[in-house]
């Protein structure tokens, strides 16, 4: 009498292929879910108050929990010179907030200021502000409403996606 309790090799191969596909799908979902939930800041708007010497930086970064997903780094540059390089461990609001940096050395100067803001989870955003040497008295220089500079995405996300694809290809062979 023949024992029918063992699966045939074809059934085992089909089951093995299904399990491998499921593992690849779960790993892909885990890798990609971080990129879906995390996002770069949406906007960076700056003004410079010639009277106080304050650079006012308003950042729009919509998050659910500003203690775990936040703007972690703000860097202010004048040309190649770093004027401010500030790290944060949370953001003050769930959507939009303002930081003030006292930069009296910019009073009366003509220069372009660049502000880079980096998300704690994914990407960054930059903006520029041109300050003129002789603004009208009592006015603040402000960034034009031109489109913000493109978002920078971490290379690690791309590398992870390529790696998942290569692993999936090997598993499904």
11 part of a folded domain:
no
Domain count, the chain: 1
Residue by residue, pLDDT tens for the chain (173 residues) are: 555 555 566 666 666 777 676 677 666 655 555 444 578 899 999 999 999 999 999 999 999 999 999 999 999 999 999 999 999 999 999 999 999 999 999 988 888 999 999 999 988 999 999 998 765 555 555 544 334 444 444 555 555 666 666 666 666 66
SS3 (DSSP) at 110: coil
137 part of a folded domain:
yes
**What is residue 35's predicted lDDT score, i.e. its pLDDT?**
47
85 part of a folded domain:
yes
SS3 (DSSP) at 53: coil
7 part of a folded domain:
no
12 part of a folded domain:
no
**What is residue 20's predicted lDDT score, i.e. its pLDDT?**
74
C-alpha–C-alpha distance, residues 124 and 146, integer Å? 17
The pTM for the full model equals 0.62
9 part of a folded domain:
no
**What is residue 133's predicted lDDT score, i.e. its pLDDT?**
75
22 part of a folded domain:
no
C-alpha–C-alpha distance, residues 97 and 80, integer Å? 26
93 part of a folded domain:
yes
The parent domain of residue 119 ranges over 43-152
How big is the chain, counted in residues? 173
> What is the CATH classification number for the domain harbouring 56?
2.60.40.10
**What is residue 36's predicted lDDT score, i.e. its pLDDT?**
47
């Amino acid at each position: 009498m023949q024992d029918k309790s063992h699966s045939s090799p074809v059934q085992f191969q089909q089951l093995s292929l299904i399990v491998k596909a499921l593992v690849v799908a779960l790993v892909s979902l885990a890798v990609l879910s971080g990129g879906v939930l995390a996002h770069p800041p949406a906007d960076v708007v700056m003004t410079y108050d010639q009277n106080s010497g304050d650079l006012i930086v308003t950042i729009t970064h919509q998050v659910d929990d500003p203690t775990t997903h936040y703007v972690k780094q703000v860097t202010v540059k004048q040309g190649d010179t770093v004027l401010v390089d500030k790290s944060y461990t949370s953001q003050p609001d769930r959507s939009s907030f303002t930081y003030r940096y006292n930069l009296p050395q910019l009073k009366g100067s003509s220069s372009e200021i660049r502000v880079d803001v980096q998300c704690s989870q994914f990407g960054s955003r930059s903006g520029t502000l041109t300050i003129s040497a002789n603004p009208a008295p009592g006015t603040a220089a402000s960034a034009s409403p031109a489109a913000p500079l493109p978002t920078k995405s971490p290379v690690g996300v791309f590398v992870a996606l390529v790696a998942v694809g290569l692993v999936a290809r090997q598993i499904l062979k």
